[in-house]
Amino acid sequence: MSDEVISHGKVVFITYSVLGEEGQVMGQQDMPTGYVHGANSGLFAAVERALEGKREGDSVEAKVPPEEGFGPHDPSLVVEDEIDNVPPTIRYVGAEAELQNDAGETLAFRVVAIGDGKITLDGNPPLAGKTATVAATVVSVRPATAEEMRTGFPAEQGPPALH
């Protein structure tokens, strides 16, 4: 077990769960995910603040407001259409589909409602406009190399999923 304390310039590996406002698990990472503390890795700022000063084995919970996390809910990303205009394979709540806009960009949408011959799809992240809670456990802490400080990520893995 390391005696290292999380501070600027430390490589930190965590496991975590992302919880919705009602405490439901919206995402989970059981494999350790790493970042470089204080090196603009893209980790939610509230999570990085909560981890400051912690050690291997410590657990934290951080509230992540929309402006620091998943952003505001964008009503323009909610689309309602006749159910007959969508393929039968996505005619159920929770189905996911990729749709292309007029600019040729592909966006991921979820079916959020079906009724009265209509289907509603939402291209917002499920936690857009909501405060999430991130529960994280510190797996390891070590000093970062100069290259890791430059990139914000540990040499032994890619960017964290939590951004």
3-state secondary structure the chain: CCCCECCCCEEEEEEEEEECCCCCEEEEEEEEEEEECCCCCCCCHHHHHHHCCCECCCEEEEEECHHHCCCCCCHHHEEEEEHHHCCHHHCCCCCEEEEECCCCCEEEEEEEEEECCEEEEECCCCCCCCCEEEEEEEEEEEECCHHHHHHCCCCCCCCCCCC
Give 11's pLDDT tier (boundaries 50, 70, 90).
very high
Query: Do residues 29 and 139 make contact, with C-beta atoms less than 8 angstroms apart?
Result: no
As assigned by CATH, the class of the 10-70+128-149 domain is alpha beta
Report whether pLDDT(62) > 60.
Answer: yes
The pLDDT assigned to 3 comes to: 84
The CATH architecture one would assign to domain 75-122 is: Beta Barrel (2.40)
Query: 10-70+128-149 and 75-122: same fold?
Result: no
The pLDDT assigned to 158 comes to: 47
Average pLDDT over residues 23-45: 93
What would the two tokens of residue 105 be? 């960009």
Read off the pLDDT of residues 111-134 as tens digits, 9 standing for 90 and up. 999 999 999 999 999 999 999 999
- The residue extents of the domains of the chain are 10-70+128-149, 75-122
The pLDDT assigned to 159 comes to: 44
What would the two tokens of residue 147 be? 């290259």
Average pLDDT over residues 64-68: 95
The phi, psi pair for 116, rounded to 5°, reads 55, 40
Most confident of 33-42, 96-105, 134-143, 147-156: 134-143
| Amino acid at the residue 134 | V
Report whether pLDDT(162) > 70.
Answer: no
CA angle, residues 125, 129, 130, in degrees to nearest 5 = 95
Give 157's pLDDT tier (boundaries 50, 70, 90).
low
